């Protein structure tokens, strides 16, 4: 079981820097920005306006997830991202980042939104 360093580079990276990559990834597979926003809001508890403020302010990942009200159903997310099982990640911020990565991956793979949101 891998744990992430508390000083990992991704923590200080702006969510707004990675967000366009998520959009590009899902659009290549016929999905939309609105769907990326939906899964992000589901995970974080942010409203669309709050999400947009964080993107505009260039909020770093550590702050973005520290201020979020992480969805309790996130525990239903499992699988591998970057060679690591998301359910085995011990550091909460890294796990939240990887949960978001996994949700975006599922969108890009064409999984129905209801299943991605664990409904």
Residues 5-20 have a mean pLDDT of: 88
61 three-class SS: helix
Cα separation of the two ends of the chain: 28
Task: Give just the sign of the alpha carbon dihedral 81, 48, 19, 25.
Answer: positive
For 37-50, the pLDDT digits (tens) are 999 999 999 999 99
- pLDDT average, residue stretch 73-83: 91
> Residue 22 — very low, low, confident or very high, per pLDDT cuts 50/70/90?
very high
Residues 6+ apart with CB under 8 A from 89: 2, 3, 4, 95, 98
Domain ranges of the chain: 9-116
Averaged confidence pLDDT in the chain: 93
Homologous superfamily of 9-116 in CATH?
A: uncharacterized protein sp1917 domain (1.10.8.290)
pLDDT at 5 over 70: no
Q: In percent, how much of the chain has pLDDT > 70?
A: 94
Reported as a pLDDT band with limits 50, 70 and 90, residue 82 is confident
d(CA 30, CA 48): 22
Confidence (pTM):
0.90
pLDDT beyond 80 at 13: yes
| pLDDT computed for residue 6 by the predictor | 61
């Amino acid at each position: 079981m891998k744990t992430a360093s508390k000083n990992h580079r991704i923590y200080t990276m702006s969510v707004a820097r990675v967000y366009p990559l998520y959009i590009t990834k899902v659009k290549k597979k016929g999905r939309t920005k609105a769907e990326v926003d939906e899964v992000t809001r589901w995970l974080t508890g942010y409203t669309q306006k709050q999400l947009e403020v964080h993107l505009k302010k260039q909020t770093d990942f550590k702050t973005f997830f520290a201020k979020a009200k992480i969805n309790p159903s996130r525990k239903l997310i499992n699988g591998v991202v970057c060679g690591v099982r998301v359910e085995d990640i011990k550091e909460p911020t890294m796990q939240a980042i990887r949960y978001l990565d996994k949700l975006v991956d599922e969108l890009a793979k064409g999984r129905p939104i209801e299943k991605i949101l664990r409904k």
